[in-house]
Chains A and B, each alone.
Chain A
Amino acid sequence: MPRQLRPATFEEAAAGLAAAAAEGQSVRIRGAGTKLDWGAAGAEPDVDLHTTGLDEIVEHNVGDLTAVLQAGVPLARAQTTFASADQMLSLDPPLGRGNAATATIGGVVATADSGPLRHRYGAARDLVVGMTVALSDGTIARSGGKVIKNVAGYDIAKLFSGAFGTLGAILAVSVRLHPLAPASSTALGASGDPEVLSKAARLLTMAPLELDALDVAWQSGWGQILARLAGAEASRRIVRVTTLMREAGLEDVDAITDDDDLWARQRAGQRSDGALLARVAARPSGLAQVLRATRSCDGRLVGRAALGLSWIEVEPEVLGALGDELGAQATIVVLDAPPGIRDGLDPWGAREGTELELMRRIKMRFDPAGACNPGVFVGGI
């Protein structure tokens, strides 16, 4: 059983991390633990460093559309605060399994998780404008700032976003916020033909619609395109979207203003209970191929149609076949997998090469003790 550290201050977090590292112990940095089994399965850590005690919303600068959050702040709580000022952090990943919504901002950023809003607003790394981190030698360092425009110094926040805690612990982030739209409307259309779905996605991507989200879903031989508009005029503008969907050949085209459940379903599709879930990055124009691969592996898919990002759930034994069907252009990262399967799997699939060598050099510079989440990341980092 790992030793449990629950720091209440940045100094405690840094000192705890440094003390463990100095003793040659491994430290698992964790928030609410909703994605704890992502990454490569490694040995049990010596220490669990919980960020959940660092849970203060330090600043919400309403007039500046920025906020400073400690790493352990549950994203759902932050969103409630922002919504009270008609604002949002445009980051909407699944926040836990089932009805639990415990995921912390630190964990979301550390795993580079995202949701449908990535279509318009980018990923965590695009919304984080500053970061405070603790390194395994006890250093507490800050990069960026709390203004939305700033090019002073290196962008350490991007390096730590998606680093799975292998470079150090994220202690706090400064984020950019956006106005919460007064209304939204989602158009949806269906087809059993990957080519038709792909064509619809292409038409919608290339039209000047300012969509908030453009998603695709596939299950049991049937697919759907979902396009969300936000803004005062959304329900009037949605007609243009449904028209394009019909032109592309989608069926059952409809527009819905009460659309929260639709998008909650898309988010939920980014997790699997019991099967294997892979995140696939491919060219957006390769959507039809991704859908065909999903179909032939009897899988289920949700994805960001214009970004070429998909989450595909399949039975573990067809992972290899899925890779073959997707082709060499696609990169596959396994997120969820049943415990027995995970142990024998490299979930990252990263190839040896100069890029991986460079990543190892970065790991060595930031965490020379090798204390932070050892072994969970690409290439055994």
Chain B
Amino acid sequence: MSSSAPELASRLQLVSQLQSICGHEHVLTHPHELATYRSDGLAHYRQIPVAAVLPGSADEVQRIVRACYEAEVPWVARGSGTGLSGGALPIAEGVLIVLARLRRILSVSLEDSRVVVEPGVTNLAVSRAVGPTHFYPPDPSSQIVCSIGGNVAENSGGAHCFKYGFTTNYVTGLEVVLSDGEIVQLERDAPGYDLLGAFVGSEGTLGVTTKITLRVIPVPQSVRTLVAFFEDTGAAGEAVSAIVSAGIVPGAIEMMDRLSIKAAEEATGAGYRLDAGAALLVELDGPDEECTSRLEQVMALCSRTGAMDVRVALSDEERALIWRARKAAFAAMGRIAPAYYVQDGVIPRTRLAEVLRRIDALAAEYKLQVANVFHAGDGNLHPLICYDAAREGEAQRAEELSGLIIKTCVDAGGSITGEHGVGVDKKAYMPSMFSEADLDTFQRLRCAFDPHGLANPGKVMPTPRLCGEVPGPYREHPLERAGVATRF
């Protein structure tokens, strides 16, 4: 990106300020060092920022944000960089604030069902800190590495959220640095607007968290896991409906189709049936008596809806094996195709059969393979659109197909994203779900938190928008100056 001489000078001055805040060793500016940070989990979006800075304390985060504010330089906060929507994609003319060093567990109070952590703590580390009696329910599949700060930004879900809910249901307190460097303490049940609720899931566009209080809950007394195999996804979908209609709320209920079973089985040897068109993994957890009676009900319902085979895990090892195939499904897709797009659409669960038929038809039309792995309880699909970039036009066809699948989800009354976030990847689809008036209303919230548009600009909203007049002196926006955005 070309820059004018004054801009370059001011950027150099900012870098030197960042160095004095965090120490030279924690400010990366060389393209070679920055390569690690050029993308998040969605590697086809890449950008090298002016600098990546790794603060070691909340105070340093605040000073960094204030320095950026004074220099009118936008910034992006990044946790572990496992996000799947490009939400932590750096900005060429901005700073990347990497929170990986803020990984202390600050306090644990099981009496209060609370744990207080810094944003760089991994999701799994929270459960470890409160174990063996308690756990933190939201469990994105990247939980070994993904950070709680990132989970808060994305309102992360996971396999167990049908029963237990999402990140937003577990965050009870946040310390947030706003884009002007001010710190706010957001608490659940504090008098006033639910700023905490508005912040969780805002994808880093309203500020950056420096301290997070989470609710944790007791580990269920019992866990029973089974996998049922069906001729096709339609029959497995009927089983899901039958289970949910019976008033059963499984801890997790996951479905894989023929292609994903094949890939996962080849990768793990978990013993999934290769002649099955669908595998349904059902996990019941809770008090012993309820688990036992519900397990019998689920087995009966699976048989009634035509299951070829139902296998109940009889040991922890067998349970781990059943899960291994499900968790390996994404990575195993490399055996089917060199590359894939993963989508994150949501549909009302009752529309599952027709949506899957539509996806099959679209895949045939586009001459591409689509594997389906999904959270069946809440209708969150993860179609994996396989392609080979080496074949001419295939990547583009895959991208088009990906967009049509999302449209199918929205048309069925669903959403463009259930847990991955909008980021840069899905912002173009926002108008398929929201009207101009809806988007303008979103912007009001963003403008209240970040009137100068410095926190993660260019994400979530389909087109760049700026904020109108606010009290205080007018400041020309860098994007406005560059002519790439107009005032909202």
Residues of A within 8 A of B (CB): 61-66, 86, 112, 122, 125-126, 133, 135, 139-143, 145-156, 158-159, 161-163, 167, 178-182, 202, 205-210, 231-233, 236-237, 281, 283-285, 306, 308-309, 331, 333, 348-350, 354-356, 358-359, 361-362, 364-366, 377-379
Contacts and interface: CB of A to CB of B under 8 A. Distances in A.
B184 A154 contact: no
Given A149-B378, A151-B422, 5 more contacts: A135-B441, A151-B157, A163-B194, A231-B287, A284-B111
A359 B441 contact: no
B193 A162 contact: yes
14 contacts: A63-B245, A143-B442, A145-B414, A146-B413, A152-B426, A153-B430, A156-B198, A206-B218, A208-B286, A231-B287, A233-B289, A283-B114, A355-B186, A362-B444
Given A141-B437, A142-B434, A149 B380 contact: yes
Contacts of B184: 354-355, 358
A182 B442 contact: no
Interface stretch (B66-74, B323-331, B383-391, B446-454): B446-454
B169 interface: yes
B247 A86 contact: yes
A145 B111 CA distance: 36
Interface of B: 109-114, 133-134, 154-155, 157, 161-162, 165-166, 168-169, 178, 182-186, 189-195, 197-198, 200-202, 218-221, 241, 244-245, 247-249, 286-287, 289-290, 293, 346-350, 375, 378-380, 413-422, 426, 430, 433-435, 437-442, 444-449, 451, 460, 470
A146 B379 CA distance: 12
A378 B190 CA distance: 10
A178 B249 contact: yes
Contact of A358 (B245, B286, B413, B449): B449
Given A152-B426, A154-B198, A179-B249, A126 B165 contact: yes
Contacts of A209: 218, 287
A358 B195 contact: yes
Most chain A Cβ neighbours within 10 Å, of B111, B168, B293 = B111
B202 A154 contact: yes
A347 B309 CA distance: 61
A147 B113 contact: no
B284 to A, nearest CB: 12
B169 A126 contact: yes
Contacts of A205: 111, 113
Contacts of A148: 162, 378-379
B220 A158 contact: no
Contact of B247 (A149, A179, A285): A179
A135 B439 CA distance: 13
A233 B435 contact: no
A347 to B, nearest CB: 9
Contact of A365 (B202, B422, B444): B444
Most chain A Cβ neighbours within 10 Å, of B219, B293, B420 = B293
Contacts of B419: 149, 151
Contacts of A65: 244
A236 B290 CA distance: 10
A1 to B, nearest CB: 31
B156 to A, nearest CB: 8
Contacts of B189: 281, 309, 331
Given A208-B287, A366-B444, A155 B414 contact: no
B413 A152 contact: no
Given A147-B348, A150-B418, A208-B220, A140 B437 contact: yes
A331 B426 contact: no
A350 B290 contact: no
A179 B221 CA distance: 21
Nearest to B348: A64
A345 B4 CA distance: 57
Most chain A Cβ neighbours within 10 Å, of B201, B247, B413, B430 = B247
Contact of A141 (B157, B438, B460): B438
Given A158-B194, A210-B220, A147 B415 contact: yes
Contact of A348 (B111, B191, B201): B191
Nearest to B157: A149
A237 to B, nearest CB: 6
Contact of B433 (A152, A158, A181, A232): A152
A112 B193 CA distance: 10
A162 B194 CA distance: 7
A358 B161 contact: no
Most chain A Cβ neighbours within 10 Å, of B219, B415, B417 = B415
A228 to B, nearest CB: 14
Nearest to B461: A153
A141 B441 contact: yes
B449 A151 contact: no
A63 B380 contact: no
A202 B111 contact: yes
Contact of B191 (A133, A362, A378): A378
B42 to A, nearest CB: 15
Contacts of B190: 281, 331, 350, 355
B448 A210 contact: no
B445 A154 contact: yes
B458 to A, nearest CB: 16
A331 B211 CA distance: 21
Contact of B289 (A237, A284, A348, A379): A237
A133 B219 CA distance: 39
Contacts of A181: 247
Contacts of A308: 112
B218 A207 contact: yes
A150 B433 CA distance: 11
Contacts of A285: 109, 111-112
Contact of A159 (B182, B194, B349): B194
Nearest to B109: A285
A150 B415 contact: yes
B113 A362 contact: no
Contacts of B470: 361
B244 A63 contact: yes
Contacts of A231: 287, 290
Contacts of A152: 415-417, 422, 426, 430, 433-434
A167 B198 CA distance: 14
B221 A159 contact: no
A156 B437 CA distance: 13
Contacts of A154: 198, 201-202, 442, 445-446, 460
A180 B245 CA distance: 11
Contacts of A333: 191
Nearest to A65: B244
A354 B194 contact: no
A376 to B, nearest CB: 12
B448 A365 contact: yes
A151 B442 contact: no
Contacts of A112: 194
